[in-house]
Every structure is written in C-alpha cells, then in structure tokens.
Amino acid sequence: MITVTKPYLPERAKLDKYIDRIYDTCRLTNDGPLVRELTRRLEEYLGVKHLLLVANGTLALQIAYRALGITGTALTTPFSFVATSSTLIWEGITPKYVDIDPETFNMDPGLVERSITDDTTAIIPVHVFGNPCEVERIDEIAKKNDLKVIYDAAHTFGVRYKGESILNHGDAATLSFHATKTYHTIEGGAIAFKEKEALDRARLLINFGITGPDKIEGLGINAKMNEFQAAMGLAVLDSIDHIVEKRSQVWRYYHERLKDSFQLQKWNPHATNNYGYFPVLFKDEEALLRCQKRLNERDIYPRRYFYPSLDSVEYIRGERMEVSRDIAGKVLCLPVYAEITKPTMNQVIRNI
C-alpha cells in the first residue's frame, strides 16, 4: 500500500543511543534532559531564540493563544487542517475567515483589513504546505491595527524566508512534529515566540501553572513533551539533511513531469521548501475523484489535504469562502516520503 506519507524511522542503533539515556536516569518526562537538549539543538538548527517544545502541534496553537492573551475574534484561513480553527473554538475564540489566494493557497493579505472588527484581537495565518505567507504585509496590517499574529507554521520545519527562519515572523509561530511531517517526534510540536516574556508565560501554562513543589502560580494544563518523544526527535534530527534531500528528489521528480499538465502551488520566491507535500490542482472535483479512484484501485492513497474547506464544517459555520471551497474541491496531495521508489512515482504519474 502506498500512502500519502510514511514516517521516517531512524536506525534502531541511533535511536537506542538516546533511549539508553532514559533507561540510565529513569527520567521519563517533566522537562527532562533530552527535551532540554532537543530544545537547544532545534533553536540552533532552526535559527530561533525562544522555543518551547510541547506534546503536539494542536496544543502548540492553544498555548500560543493563551500566552499572548488572544480573546474575542481571530482572523484565520478556511484552507487548513481542522486544528487551526478547532483550537480557536476550544479556547473560546471565534474564528472569522479570510479567503485564500488561488495560486499560493495562503490567506489573501488583500482581504485581511476589511475583515477586522472591534473584537478582533489576532490574525492566525497558515503557511500552507510549508509555503510562507506574505509575512511583511500581514505583519504590517497587524501592527497598524494593534493585532497579534500567530503563524500556524505546522508544515514549515526548517523553511527559510529571505535567508532567515520563517518562524521569526509574528508574535509566535507554531510547529507540528507529528509522525506524518518532514521532521517528527512521533507526536509533538513547538512554539517559537518573539518575546522571552511570552515564552516564560507559556512555560508555566504547559505544566499546570506549577512553579515549584509547593507552588501553583496560575491556571495551566499539561502540554509537555516527554523524553521518548525527544529521543525520537534527536535521532530524526541527526538525519534531517538526508530526509530533506531524499524528499526534495521525490518532489523534483514529480514537479518536472507534472508542471506542464497541472496547476501546482505557487511557491513564495523568497523561500526554501522542506518538501513535505506535493499538492496537485485538478481542473474540477470530478476529475480529482476519478483520479483518486483509479489510484486507490492500484493501492495508492493520495490525500485530499485540505478538504472540506473549514467554512463548510457544521460546528464552525463561517461565512462562505468561495476560493477556498473551489481549491479544497480540486487539490490532491501525492505520496511524498524519503523511501518512495521511482517505479511507484511513475505509477502515480501515469495514473493521474
């Protein structure tokens, strides 16, 4: 079976080197030495200053909203994984959608300002499939209107924009280290904060608001990453250049053969890619469904990331977003992972 992705598993010996340390110390969680080491190494690798590791990318969003005091209404995109919106609702914040650009698939910055109302406190854009948003325009609108910006950067591990980490834009940027991502810690995530004060507040939030054995300073929850997640994260990080290189070969192979027949996502010209996804836009939903069926019959399972457009989800019920609905109906993400073979890619290409 060929699936849309396949997690990278490091060699057992490389992983065991880290797991042995857990067995030696019996330290399994609660800000242990592997989580600390991974934090340091990721700050260095990614080029960020105030990084907090958490249990998953969903909690990363929730903690970021709390740490930055987001309330009322937040502007966000309907073309994303459901977690971008569900976390807002979970935190009592109302998502209000801004439609997307039909070529980049990211929030259209030209539509942001007209959506701001008195109770808007934040903008939550997504760098969809790792493709950076127009960050300068968004950051400028936020500054002018005194709004916070939290980028859902779940897909952007290692992506650089104008030579710097994309995570350095906004008041915070959140990552997902889920097994399906280019870089993973099985489950996991992180928040890169602009200000150290926000990082300090978030550090309290992820550990029940506890500051010492006998002291509870405020409301918190449990969003900690554990030592086994960090062990996997360290082992995967040891191979990250190899993973990205292999994925880039797959991505380029598809790109070369499909670029003249399909509309592909328009990539930000100032940004690198981590080759997490290969979205293809069909001429209509019918063509997509026909192709999906043909591939499924051959035991190949691409995915409709992101479908449905979130403004059509019953419990979210946003204003209708025409562009997002159109794109969501036509996008199919092809299988991309380090060990995919050329015959398999050829089979995918032949059948689409």
Interface residue list for ligand T4K (CB under 6 A): 3-7, 56-58, 80-81, 83-84, 126, 152, 154, 176, 178-180, 189, 301, 303, 305
Q: Tally Cβ neighbours within 10 Å of residue 255.
A: 13
Q: Which is nearer to ligand T4K, 170 or 189 (CB)?
A: 189
For 41, the token pair is 């190494």
Please, what is the minimum distance in Å from the beta carbon of residue 337 to ligand T4K?
Answer: 8
C-alpha angle with apex 202: 201 to 203, nearest 5 degrees?
90
Beta carbons of 149 and 142 less than 8 angstroms apart:
yes
Please, what is the minimum distance in Å from the beta carbon of residue 1 to ligand T4K?
Answer: 8
Beta carbons of 262 and 282 less than 8 angstroms apart:
yes
Q: Tally Cβ neighbours within 10 Å of residue 188.
A: 28
Q: Tally Cβ neighbours within 10 Å of residue 241.
A: 11
Please, what is the minimum distance in Å from the beta carbon of residue 240 to ligand T4K?
Answer: 17
Please, what is the minimum distance in Å from the beta carbon of residue 342 to ligand T4K?
Answer: 20
Please, what is the minimum distance in Å from the beta carbon of residue 175 to ligand T4K?
Answer: 8
Q: Which is nearer to ligand T4K, 152 or 227 (CB)?
A: 152
Give the C-alpha separation, 294 to 253, whole Å: 21
Q: Which is nearer to ligand T4K, 21 or 243 (CB)?
A: 243
Q: Which is nearer to ligand T4K, 4 or 142 (CB)?
A: 4
| Residue 280 DSSP symbol | E
> Whose CB is nearest to ligand T4K?
57
Q: Which is nearer to ligand T4K, 3 or 30 (CB)?
A: 3
Longest dimension (CA), the chain: 65
List the one residue out of 74, 99, 83, 108 whose CA is nearest residue 325.
Answer: 99
What residue type is assigned to position 281 of the chain?
L
Please, what is the minimum distance in Å from the beta carbon of residue 60 to ligand T4K?
Answer: 7
Q: Which is nearer to ligand T4K, 84 or 309 (CB)?
A: 84
Cis omega (within 30 of 0) for bond into 343: no
For 297, the token pair is 């019959």
